């Protein structure tokens, strides 16, 4: 059994007991425990079930690389699936439950998949469930979904808050082991700004556990002294619980700081995503130990050798009383020594190398540990827990020679540098045959804008295999990075460290060498996704030669741990199967983030009220107080209508239209774009931007204009007013304001850079209200201040003046077909002016109306709407707007495009009005159908609805649509099928349903 | 004029920094040739300030001139003077190719002050706000989370910030959230 030892535990506070709950049971750990160490201390070796076969799984590692120990963590609004037990710090009241089992962790029905494993090889799903097609969706997928998968998705809204932080440093150092500390010290001493980050809560990495001696003192003392020295450097900042998540172009890095995961329920943000710009980045991310591939290497109790000694030294936890060590290198002997020192038994060290190890092996032998060289584990016995290992020669086929009873196995297949961050932005790797690992190629780093490398690697992450080498390497890297960012490195030597002499490791990718199929199909490569040696071999046989293809076919390395333990072993097996060298096979692509980061951190502050910016007009609060039904238009909120108490949205719209047409309506049109264009070349410029002539517009007058893209398609429309000799004011659609301003600036800055034109976007400077209806003039005359008569201010004119004491600019324009004034006042006076209009308009029953009434009224008049009648494929000619295409101009944006054969094609659908025979409202977007199918087997069509409303004025459904030869087919009746299968018949009519002669607006 | 109110009517919040809407301020956008002596003279006449260098804002009492782009300045004056001042500058530049417009009502102005002010902004804007890199007088057009904004260091511990009027509430809420107690970073 796994249990707590009587020793102190380097990271534990034995004074502070911590209670927590696992699968409904209350357990106890200590402050400083991880959830993994606390579970082990309570003999909870079984922590979950595997993804595909539901095999029992225990923790295999002690850090970020852990594939098995994943739990549902927390409850309710603080629930999170797939939390790694090895990186979850224990806190009082922690609640966790294991995943992917039913009905319980101890007894799981899905484990039948395990006994059927022979029937579930790599690519099983692709091969088995492809026919019949429909069965996948309705039969296979739901069943497979139920049996596969890991944690549950959270159901409640997240209780925590998150944030971003932008930081700028000269040198960013990722990884706070001894190499990171030394690099920070060297760079800091050179005077540059340094940020050193470490993903765990502790500094120093593995060195204290592995017994390093640095500068004549134990590693722990050296770490403490170095931290003290760094603390005295004002230019150096250090932070723990902060992981380097990704490195991107131009020295950009993301770091993930976990502020309150270890102490929930306080006021801190939970996570902070750091967005860092660094001159140079050093990754001192250490190395990860590799598992060995032997049959049953996934049974709970089989762990990495380094993890076993981490649990003993750091957390005073014994994974078992009797631990067999199996290795292909000297480092794992440290585990045997640590176990022995803790008073635990090591029945045997199984060393695959015929010649065995060096100095550490001698120490082990001196302690009386039995060391067998040239041997292998043929097979691990046990189900939910290791009971024994069977030993055989490494060179053979796995015939068992000896049975060694034990309750844990510590395995080491060598060490792989953590090259992820180096690789994110294009750093290349080389294969180091001596240590059987990939390490960064210093000659091919990620390159910055200047063609120079901006990432360097130091220490064990760079392939160093001893403490002394790692410190020298880190010192060099720190100095070089400081120099590259303008610092002056000190002439000081790196601290010296004592390293034991190590015998060479031997690559071992299968154990034993000649294992048959039966053993190979129980050798796990990827523990989380259940990928075995036999699966990768099968993929190779079936022609998946590329490592990227093999990955996707077998799912090797595609789990939440992204193959931190499995990648190298998997590609070595693939290389062997293909009879190729490992470097020829290569690695899969390393992509950020290094370990998963929370969605909350990515979103940062953007949630709740500040999820998105919400643009408010000056009448926003008034609308809120008067029953508004909002319509989002871009980031704006516009009133769709204002509901009276108990009134439906539909009824409100009808009422607003009727009241406006009968007497007086009021619209907040403040969101319409208002762009000033000024300069000696402004007229010439606007003649290019608009399809019609704007240079000939007289000061004091307005003109409706169309804008097209250079491809000829309609992009925006609006009324242009000429303010003076060289100044125009261009109104755009609400959604078009920013886009059209940018469009104008782009043409001015890139194409017509020598034209003297300035623009300014004044959209928000003014509140603009439309006073609409037969009594509009009476209202303005009542308020008084300027002459708004037909003679002084005719249709399509504008004037500056006072109304009711306000400074205004009044435009005589109409989008409703009624007598209408659009009046602009400074935005800060908008609310006051709105209130004034409402008060004074009371005698005419003034009715504020929203965007839907605006739409209905413009449709009754046959006015087009950008975004309804246009969709990016419509040209002015389609809409019968030929009158707005100037024939006098040599050019305008879109002119040439409109002359292309497809644009000039008479078969293009054209705008008409549609009137239903039964008076009903056509469905929006409905198509008019004709007999027969097209070449794709779809029903042939001859037109579609672009806008459709119930007209309260005419009391029947009206619509606009684009129809084949439409304007030539007045009176023809078209068939529009509805989704319920019935057909609505509609007659082609003029799009102008109301007041075709314009008598109402021109009074 | 007495009816004019700013977007948030002086909203205020206290956290790791004090965030305050400053009410109405006169603002004039001036686009023109910034090397022109006439432009410099017109601005100086009105504000008593020289033209700012790139990414700087010169301030004096209620007056300021900020560098917006290679051909654009933002002139700040008391709100009540904005209309007349716009006409005055436009008149002085009548013979030059220039655009002078009153934008006082298009914006909201905030102050962010106190020890935490730099970090409050650094959570929202991709700008190096360290003491050695962002000094008094410096001005930056940037974005604040999802909207455009500009800010400058008016005094050693006081930033002023402008954004569009329609998003004043969003910006205030952002700054308030960013300044919520307990989330001090301790980096700047």
Please indicate if any CB of chain A lies within 8 Å of the CB of B95. no
Instruction: Give yes or no for a contact between A763 and A676, defined as CB atoms under 8 angstroms apart.
Output: no
Please indicate if any CB of chain A lies within 8 Å of the CB of B29. yes
A412 CB neighbour count, 10 Å cutoff: 26
Q: Which fold has domain A909-989?
A: Elongation Factor Tu (Ef-tu); domain 3 (2.40.30)
| Residue labelled with tokens 């006098």 | A888
Q: Hey, what domains does chain B have and what are their CATH numbers?
A: 14-178 (3.30.1360.120)
pLDDT: is A110 or B134 the higher one?
B134
Tell me which of B120, B144, B170 to substitute to probe the interface with A (most A C-beta atoms closer than 10 Å). Answer: B170
Please indicate if any CB of chain A lies within 8 Å of the CB of B185. yes
Instruction: Give yes or no for a contact between A62 and A304, defined as CB atoms under 8 angstroms apart.
Output: yes
Helix H or strand E segment including A401:
none
Between β-strands A455-457 and A271-283, what pairing exists: parallel, antiparallel or unpaired?
A: parallel
User: What tokens appear for A815 in the block?
Assistant: 């989008």
pLDDT-based confidence at residue A122 (cuts at 50, 70, 90): confident
Reported as a single tens digit per residue, the pLDDT across A463-499 is 998 999 999 999 999 999 999 999 999 999 999 999 9
Note the pLDDT of residue A51.
81
| Domain regions of chain A by residue span | 1-156, 162-288+417-498, 291-364+380-413, 517-585, 622-671+766-858, 673-764, 909-989
Residue A613 and residue B147: Cβ atoms within 8 Å? yes
Chain B residue with CA closest to A806: the answer is B1
Percent of chain B scoring above 70 in pLDDT:
99
pLDDT-based confidence at residue A1 (cuts at 50, 70, 90): confident
- This model of the complex carries an ipTM of 0.97
Would the pLDDT of A110 be above 70? no
B127 contacts on A by Cβ (under 8 Å): 166
Residue A760 and residue B4: Cβ atoms within 8 Å? no
Residue B133 and residue A168: Cβ atoms within 8 Å? yes
Q: How far is CA A207 from the centre of its chain?
A: 36
Would you tell me which CATH number, out of the four given (3.30.70.1400, 1.10.10.10, 3.40.50.2300, 3.30.1300.10), belongs to the domain A673-764? 3.30.70.1400
Reported as a single tens digit per residue, the pLDDT across A665-704 is 999 999 999 999 999 999 999 999 999 999 999 999 999 9
Which residue in the set B5, B31, B146 is minimally distant from A758, CB to CB? B31
User: What tokens appear for A446 in the block?
Assistant: 């990620």
pLDDT-based confidence at residue A128 (cuts at 50, 70, 90): low
Residue B107 and residue A764: Cβ atoms within 8 Å? yes
Rounded CA-CA distance A245/A238 in Å is 16
pLDDT: is A153 or A228 the higher one?
A228
Q: Which of A796, A806, A797 is nearest to A766 (CA)?
A: A806
A806 contacts on B by Cβ (under 8 Å): 3
Would the pLDDT of A37 be above 50? yes
Residue A826 and residue B104: Cβ atoms within 8 Å? yes
- Judged by DSSP in three states, B60 sits in strand
- In sequence order, the 6+-apart residues with CB closer than 8 A to the CB of A881 are A706, A864
Note the pLDDT of residue A536.
94
Rounded CA-CA distance B32/B30 in Å is 6
Residue A762 and residue B6: Cβ atoms within 8 Å? no
What angle, rounded to 10 degrees, do the helices at A737-750 and A682-689 form? 120
User: What tokens appear for B139 in the block?
Assistant: 């001005």
Rounded CA-CA distance A694/A744 in Å is 15
Would the pLDDT of A69 be above 50? yes
User: What tokens appear for B147 in the block?
Assistant: 């909207």
Q: Which of A551, A593, A552, A553 is nearest to A568 (CA)?
A: A551
pLDDT-based confidence at residue A153 (cuts at 50, 70, 90): confident
Rounded CA-CA distance A544/B60 in Å is 72
The CATH architecture that domain A1-156 belongs to is: Roll (3.10)
Q: Which residues pair with A163 in a beta bridge?
A: A272
Q: b or e along B22-50 (b: 16 or more beta carbons within 10 Å of the residue's beta carbon)?
A: ebbbbbbbbbbebeeeebbebbeebbebe
pLDDT-based confidence at residue A147 (cuts at 50, 70, 90): low
Residue A676 and residue B166: Cβ atoms within 8 Å? no
Reported as a single tens digit per residue, the pLDDT across A175-196 is 999 999 999 999 999 999 999 9
The CATH number that domain A162-288+417-498 falls under is 3.50.50.60
Sign of CA dihedral A789, A790, A793, A796: positive
Residue B127 and residue A617: Cβ atoms within 8 Å? no
The answer to which of A271-280, A427-436, A556-565, A668-677 has the lowest mean pLDDT is A556-565
Instruction: Give yes or no for a contact between A35 and A441, defined as CB atoms under 8 angstroms apart.
Output: no
**Which residues between 111 and 170 in chain B have a beta carbon less than 8 angstroms from any beta carbon of chain A?**
119, 122-130, 133, 145-147, 164-170
Instruction: Give yes or no for a contact between A390 and A381, defined as CB atoms under 8 angstroms apart.
Output: yes
Note the pLDDT of residue A11.
97
Q: Which of A522, A306, A527, A308 is nearest to A408 (CA)?
A: A308
Instruction: Give yes or no for a contact between A803 and A836, defined as CB atoms under 8 angstroms apart.
Output: no
Chain B residue with CA closest to A170: the answer is B128
Minimal CA separation from A758 to chain B, in Å: 6
Reported as a single tens digit per residue, the pLDDT across B17-61 is 999 999 999 999 999 999 999 999 999 999 999 999 999 999 999
Q: How many CB pairs under 8 A join A and B?
A: 131
Dump the DSSP string for A898-930: HTSTTTS-TTS-EEEEEEETTSPPPPTT-EEEE
Residue A831 and residue B146: Cβ atoms within 8 Å? no
Which residue in the set A765, A832, A833 is minimally distant from B105, CB to CB? A765
Minimal CA separation from A283 to chain B, in Å: 21
Residue A614 and residue B169: Cβ atoms within 8 Å? yes
- Judged by DSSP in three states, A873 sits in coil
B6 contacts on A by Cβ (under 8 Å): 828
pLDDT-based confidence at residue A149 (cuts at 50, 70, 90): low
Instruction: Give yes or no for a contact between A850 and A639, defined as CB atoms under 8 angstroms apart.
Output: yes
A167 contacts on B by Cβ (under 8 Å): 122, 187
Q: Which fold has domain A622-671+766-858?
A: Gyrase A; domain 2 (3.30.1360)
Average pLDDT over residues A271-297: 98
DSSP letter at A313 equals H
Residue B4 and residue A163: Cβ atoms within 8 Å? no
Reported as a single tens digit per residue, the pLDDT across A246-274 is 999 999 999 999 999 998 877 899 999 99
Note the pLDDT of residue A143.
64
- In sequence order, the 6+-apart residues with CB closer than 8 A to the CB of A479 are A186, A187, A190, A489
As a whole number, the mean pLDDT across chain A is 95
Would the pLDDT of B1 be above 50? no
How far CA A426 is from CA of A422, A591, B96, in Å, comes to 7, 10, 52
Q: Which residues pair with A929 in a beta bridge?
A: A941, A975
Note the pLDDT of residue A133.
67
B91 contacts on A by Cβ (under 8 Å): none
Reported as a single tens digit per residue, the pLDDT across A923-978 is 999 999 999 999 999 999 999 999 999 999 999 999 999 999 999 999 999 999 99
Q: Do domains A622-671+766-858 and A673-764 have the same CATH topology?
A: no
How far CA A684 is from CA of A486, A690, A696, A892, in Å, comes to 51, 10, 10, 10
Would you tell me which CATH number, out of the four given (3.30.420, 3.30.40, 3.50.50, 3.40.50), belongs to the domain A291-364+380-413? 3.50.50
Reported as a single tens digit per residue, the pLDDT across A431-449 is 999 999 999 999 999 999 9
Reported as a single tens digit per residue, the pLDDT across A373-411 is 999 999 999 999 999 999 999 999 999 999 999 999 999
CATH top-level class of A517-585 = mainly alpha
């Amino acid at each position: 059994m796994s249990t707590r030892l009587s020793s102190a535990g380097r990271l534990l506070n034995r004074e502070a007991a911590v209670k927590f709950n696992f699968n409904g049971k209350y357990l106890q750990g200590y402050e400083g425990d991880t959830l993994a160490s606390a579970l082990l201390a309570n003999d909870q070796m079984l922590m979950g079930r595997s993804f595909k076969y539901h095999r029992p799984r225990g923790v295999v590692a002690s850090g970020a690389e852990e594939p098995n120990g994943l739990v549902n963590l927390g409850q309710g609004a603080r629930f999170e699936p797939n939390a790694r037990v090895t990186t979850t710090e224990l806190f009082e009241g922690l609640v966790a439950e294991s995943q992917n089992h039913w009905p319980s962790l101890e007894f799981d029905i899905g484990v039948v998949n395990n006994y059927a494993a022979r029937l579930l090889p790599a690519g099983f799903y692709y091969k088995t469930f492809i026919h019949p097609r429909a069965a996948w969706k309705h039969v296979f997928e739901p069943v497979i979904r139920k049996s596969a998968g890991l944690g549950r998705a959270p159901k409640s809204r997240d209780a925590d808050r998150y944030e971003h932080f932008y930081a700028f440093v000269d040198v960013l150092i990722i990884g706070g082991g001894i190499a990171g500390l030394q690099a920070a010290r060297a760079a800091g001493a050179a005077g540059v700004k340094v940020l050193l980050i470490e993903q765990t809560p502790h500094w120093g990495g593995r060195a204290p556990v592995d017994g390093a001696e640095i500068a004549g003192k134990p590693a722990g003392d050296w770490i403490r002294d170095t931290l003290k020295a760094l603390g005295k450097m004002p230019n150096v900042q250090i932070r723990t619980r902060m992981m380097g998540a990704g490195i991107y172009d131009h020295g950009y890095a993301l770091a993930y700081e976990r502020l309150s995961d270890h102490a929930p329920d306080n006021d801190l943000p939970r996570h902070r995503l750091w967005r860092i710009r660094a001159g140079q980045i050093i990754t001192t991310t250490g190395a990860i130990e590799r598992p060995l591939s032997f049959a049953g290497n996934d049974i709970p109790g089989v762990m990495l050798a380094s993890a076993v000694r981490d649990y003993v030294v750091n957390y005073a936890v014994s994974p078992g009383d009797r631990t067999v060590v199996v290795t292909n290198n000297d480092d794992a002997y440290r585990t045997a020594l640590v176990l022995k020192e803790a008073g635990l038994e090591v029945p045997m060290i199984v060393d695959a190398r015929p010649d065995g190890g060096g100095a550490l092996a001698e120490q082990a032998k001196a302690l009386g540990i039995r060391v067998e060289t040239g041997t292998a584990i043929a097979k691990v016995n046990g189900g939910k827990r290791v009971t024994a290992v069977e030993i055989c020669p490494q060179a053979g086929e796995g015939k068992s020679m000896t049975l060694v009873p034990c309750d844990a196995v510590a395995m080491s297949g060598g060490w792989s540098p953590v090259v992820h961050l180096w690789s994110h932005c294009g750093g290349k790797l080389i294969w180091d045959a001596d240590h059987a690992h990939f390490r960064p190629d210093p000659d091919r780093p990620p390159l910055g804008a200047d063609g120079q490398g901006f990432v360097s690697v130091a220490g064990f992450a760079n392939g160093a295999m001893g403490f002394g080498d790692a410190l020298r390497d880190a010192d060099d890297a720190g100095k070089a990075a400081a120099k590259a960012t303008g610092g002056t490195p000190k002439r000081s030597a790196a601290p010296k460290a004592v390293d034991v002499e190590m015998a060479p490791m031997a690559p071992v990718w299968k154990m034993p060498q000649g294992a048959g199929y039966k053993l190979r199909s129980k050798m796990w490569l990827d523990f989380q996704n259940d990928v075995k040696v036999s699966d990768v071999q099968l993929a190779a046989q079936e022609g998946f030669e590329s490592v990227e293809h093999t990955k996707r076919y077998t799912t090797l390395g595609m789990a939440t741990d992204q193959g931190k333990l499995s990648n190298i072993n998997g590609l070595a097996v693939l290389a062997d199967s293909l009879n190729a060298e490992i470097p020829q096979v290569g690695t899969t692509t390393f992509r950020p983030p290094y370990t998963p980061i929370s969605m909350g951190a990515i979103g940062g502050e953007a949630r709740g009220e500040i999820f998105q910016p919400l643009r408010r007009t000056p009448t926003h609060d008034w609308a809120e107080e008067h029953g508004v039904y909002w319509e989002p238009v871009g980031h704006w909120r516009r009133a769709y209508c204002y509901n009276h108490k108990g009134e439906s949205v539909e009824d409100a719209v009808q009422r607003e239209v009727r009241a406006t047409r009968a007497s007086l309506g009021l619209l907040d049109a403040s969101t319409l774009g208002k762009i000033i264009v000024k300069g000696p070349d402004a007229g010439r410029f606007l003649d290019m931007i608009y399809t019609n002539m704007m240079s000939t517009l007289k000061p004091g007058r307005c003109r409706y204009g169309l804008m097209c893209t250079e491809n000829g398609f309609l992009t925006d429309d609006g009324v242009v007013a000429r303010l003076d000799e060289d100044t125009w004011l261009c109104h755009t659609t609400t959604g078009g304001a920013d886009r059209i301003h940018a469009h104008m600036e782009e043409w001015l800055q890139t194409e017509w850079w020598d034209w003297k034109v300035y623009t300014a976007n004044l959209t928000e400077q003014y509140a603009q209200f439309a006073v609409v209806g037969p009594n509009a003039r009476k209202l303005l005359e009542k308020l008084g201040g300027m002459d708004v008569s037909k003679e002084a201010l005719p249709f399509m004119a504008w004037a500056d003046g006072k109304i009711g004491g306000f400074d205004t600019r009044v435009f005589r324009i109409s989008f409703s077909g009624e007598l209408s004034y659009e009046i602009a006042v400074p935005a800060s006076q908008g609310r006051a002016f709105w209130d004034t209009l409402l008060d004074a308009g009371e005698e005419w029953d003034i009715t504020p109306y929203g965007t839907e009434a605006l739409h209905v009224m413009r449709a009754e008049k046959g006015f087009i709407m950008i975004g309804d009648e246009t969709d990016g494929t419509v040209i002015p000619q389609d809409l019968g707007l030929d009158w707005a295409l100037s024939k006098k101009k040599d050019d305008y944006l879109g002119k040439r495009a409109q002359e292309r054969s497809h644009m000039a094609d008479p078969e293009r659908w054209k705008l008409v009005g549609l009137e239903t025979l039964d008076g009903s409202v056509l469905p929006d977007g409905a198509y008019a159908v004709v007999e027969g199918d097209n070449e794709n087997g779809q029903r042939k069509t001859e037109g579609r609805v672009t806008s459709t409303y119930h007209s309260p004025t005419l009391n029947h459904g009206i619509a606009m649509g684009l129809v084949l030869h439409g304007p030539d087919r007045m009176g023809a009746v078209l068939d529009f099928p509805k989704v319920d299968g019935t057909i609505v018949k509609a007659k082609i009519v003029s799009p102008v349903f109301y007041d075709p002669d314009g008598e109402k607006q021109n009074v | 004029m007495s009816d004019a109110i700013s977007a948030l009517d002086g909203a205020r919040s206290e956290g790791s920094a004090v965030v305050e809407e400053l009410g109405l301020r006169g603002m004039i956008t001036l686009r023109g040739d910034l090397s022109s002596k006439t432009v410099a003279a017109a601005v100086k006449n009105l504000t008593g300030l020289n033209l700012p260098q790139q990414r700087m804002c010169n301030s004096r009492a209620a007056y300021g001139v900020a560098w917006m782009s290679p051909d654009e300045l933002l002139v700040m004056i008391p709100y009540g003077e904005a209309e007349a001042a716009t006409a005055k500058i436009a008149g002085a530049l009548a013979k030059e190719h220039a655009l002078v417009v009153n934008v006082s009502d298009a914006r909201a102005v905030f102050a962010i002050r106190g020890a935490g002010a730099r970090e409050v902004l650094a959570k929202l804007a991709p700008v190096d706000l360290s003491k050695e890199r962002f000094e008094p007088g410096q001005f930056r057009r940037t974005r604040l989370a999802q909207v455009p904004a500009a800010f400058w260091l008016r005094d050693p511990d006081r930033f002023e910030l402008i954004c569009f009027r329609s998003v004043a509430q969003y910006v205030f809420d952002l700054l308030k959230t960013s300044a919520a107690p307990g989330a001090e970073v301790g980096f700047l």
